[in-house]
Amino acid sequence: MSGEVVLVVLIIVGLIGRSPIISTAACVLLIVKLIHLQRFLPTIERRGLELGLLFLTFSVLVPFASERITTKDMLSVVTSWPGILALTGGAIATYVNGKGLEMLRLDPQLIVGLVVGSIFGIVFLRGIPVGPLMAAGITAILFKLFSLIAERF
């Protein structure tokens, strides 16, 4: 199946699954291919994740820049159970994301399974895509668990 057909299928799946991010990404990549700018695809692949993480970080830091988060709010993070659990969850999530990045660097072909799995989760489980790093991180954990179980048998 050609790349263009796959992108059109992803656009349709994104529309059916109400995932504007998948539809938009597939549309942009289809346009890049159709106007013969394929030479930029390796750059998009190499730097796209970094750019996405940059914009995600922007969105997370805006409340600090706009002063919607106060010093009192920051103190409540370390003095309340929900705050401490949020700190712990954030630390664990970044650790798992790091493991996912390691896994993607070692075996980049896994991205196919992550994308198909994410699309499945969006369309059939009504999930929200959180990105390839978290999916790869969960995959890394599942891989480790599977390896430990397989060693026992």
At 25-51, the pLDDT tens digits run 899 999 999 999 989 998 888 788 788
Mark the ranges of the chain whose per-residue pLDDT is less than 50. Answer: none
- What's the pTM value of the predicted model, to 2 decimals? 0.64
Domain range spanning residue 113? 70-152
User: Is residue 38 included in any domain, yes or no?
Assistant: no
pLDDT for the residue 96: 93
Cβ–Cβ under 8 Å, residues 4 and 30:
yes
Q: How many domains does the chain have?
A: 1
pLDDT for the residue 8: 92
pLDDT for the residue 35: 95
Cβ–Cβ under 8 Å, residues 111 and 132:
yes
User: Is residue 41 included in any domain, yes or no?
Assistant: no
Other CB atoms within 10 A of residue 69 CB:
14
Beta strands in 55-153 (DSSP E): none
H or E segment at 67?
Answer: none
pLDDT for the residue 31: 95
- The residue type at 148: L
pLDDT for the residue 141: 93
- The residue type at 13: V
User: Nearest 5°: phi and psi at 86?
Assistant: -65, -40
User: Is residue 137 included in any domain, yes or no?
Assistant: yes
User: Is residue 128 included in any domain, yes or no?
Assistant: yes
pLDDT for the residue 48: 82
User: Is residue 10 included in any domain, yes or no?
Assistant: no
Q: What CA–CA distance (Å, rounded) separates 70 from 72? A: 5
Q: Among 108, 101, 100, 102, which residue's Cα sits nearest to residue 138?
A: 100
Burial of residue 32 (CB within 10 Å: 0-12, 13-18, 19+) is: middle
User: Is residue 142 included in any domain, yes or no?
Assistant: yes
The counts of H helices and E strands in the chain are 7, 0
Q: What CA–CA distance (Å, rounded) separates 138 from 132? A: 10
Rg of the chain in Å (alpha carbons): 19
User: Is residue 104 included in any domain, yes or no?
Assistant: yes
